[in-house]
Copies of this chain bind each other. A is one copy, B any other.
Amino acid sequence: MTDIRLALTGFGNVGKGLAILLAENEETYRRAYGVRMLLTGVADRGGAITNPEGIDPAFLLRVKETTGTVAGYPGGVPGLAGTKFLEGARAQVLVEASSTNFEDAEPGWSYIRGAIDNGMDLVLASKGALVLHWADMMRSATARGVQVRFSATVGAPLPILEMAQRVLLGSTIEVIEGIVNATSNQILSSMSEGLSYEDGVRRAQEIGIAETDPTLDVDGWDAAAKAVIIANAILGADLRLSDVARTGIRGIVRRELEEARMSGAAIKSIARITNHEGVVRAEVRPDRRPLADPLGGLRNDEMGVVFHTDPLGVMTSTARSTAGGGIVTALTVLRDLFNLANDRGWGHVPA
């Protein structure tokens, strides 16, 4: 039985989701994958706790709820962060799950650089560093022999990276298009049922999938960031967020949605990446799709991706999850961890 020692940065919905999953299922994972997932360090805005012997995830969740920070855990240190945190955790893998920041990618980017310097593998749930420092990060990671996984950042739980890496081999990917932002799709779904934009936002917030400030979702920033990551990781592009032509969903009026619905169609917020003989372009904008279209039929917080490839043809993946967003993203982090363990020879994934 191999221990996989994890340093987790960020303890919001995704970090907590991971702790919940580990608290409930660690024994099951151990039996299934031959590895023991051990949290040896957890940091949030208030500070951090490190313990190379392992931190109890169930107790950590209670501490966070009562004290507001993981630093409230016995032995925790308010203000502990950065390199000192990473050294204390003595982990093999950094799970970076702090809030995505498109300004300077912090605090994730500092943690990521520290982890690479220490030869730690990376499993990322935040998008900032991927979007702002892609080439730089991959270069240092490769130089240091460090693995970087980030399935959770491109529309979790969709298997977008896995499709490109393991399934579409031998074909050229010409177009990737997807509904990769659940919040926008939920709001458009509500509006097509007659709700106003404002009520659609409110309902999405009540369900727990929209933030208090939904700007990143409804103005297409989140989908554009995902498009950048997908384009760079899968198609070898070097796009920035500013390269993505971006139109959000604020301008859509109920009447358009109802009209589309009457004629067997739907207006969807689509991220579209095209690869024309190596020239890669990305855009995010509302698009009218027939309900019979693989993306047009996706309702509420369903998500999907369509790969147009040559010569294989059109391959589609869709997801409809009943678990909350934090749990779904945490499950996607976990699958990166299990695959990493398998590829590193640490454990085994059943054949």
Q: Interface on A for B, CB 8 Å cutoff?
A: 21, 25, 29, 33, 138, 148, 157, 159, 162-163, 165-171, 233, 236, 291-292, 294, 297, 311-323, 327-328, 331, 334-335, 338-339, 349-351
Since A29-B170, A317-B317 are in contact, a sample of 15 more A-B pairs with Cβ atoms closer than 8 Å, ordered by chain A residue number, is A21-B170, A159-B166, A159-B315, A162-B162, A165-B349, A165-B351, A168-B335, A169-B334, A169-B349, A170-B331, A170-B334, A236-B350, A313-B323, A315-B319, A316-B320
Listed residue (A138, A313, A349) with the most chain B CB atoms within 10 angstroms of its CB: A313
Chain copies in complex: 2
Of A169, A236, A334, A349, the most chain B CB neighbours within 10 A belong to A169
What CA separation (Å) do A318 and B166 show in the bound complex?
A: 16
Expressed in whole angstroms, the minimum distance between the Cβ of A163 and any Cβ of chain B is 7
Majority secondary structure of chain A interface residues (helix, strand, loop or mixed): mixed
Task: Using known A-B contacts A157-B312, A311-B331, A314-B320, determine if residue A292 contacts B291 with beta carbons closer than 8 Å.
Answer: yes
Q: Which 7 A-B pairs have the closest CB atoms?
A: A313-B321, A169-B338, A169-B335, A170-B334, A159-B167, A314-B320, A316-B318
* Contact present for B292 and A166 (CB under 8 Å): no
A328 to B171, CA, bound (A): 11
Query: Which one of B157, B316, B335, B339 lies within 8 Å of A317 (CB-CB)?
Result: B316
Contact A166:B312 (CB < 8 A) given known A159-B159, A236-B350, A292-B297 = no
In the complex, the answer to whether B163 meets A159 with C-beta atoms within 8 Å is yes
Q: Pick the contact of A167: B171, B297, B335 (CB < 8 A).
A: B335
A190 to chain B, nearest CB (A): 18
- Chain B nearest CB from A57 CB (Å) reads 15
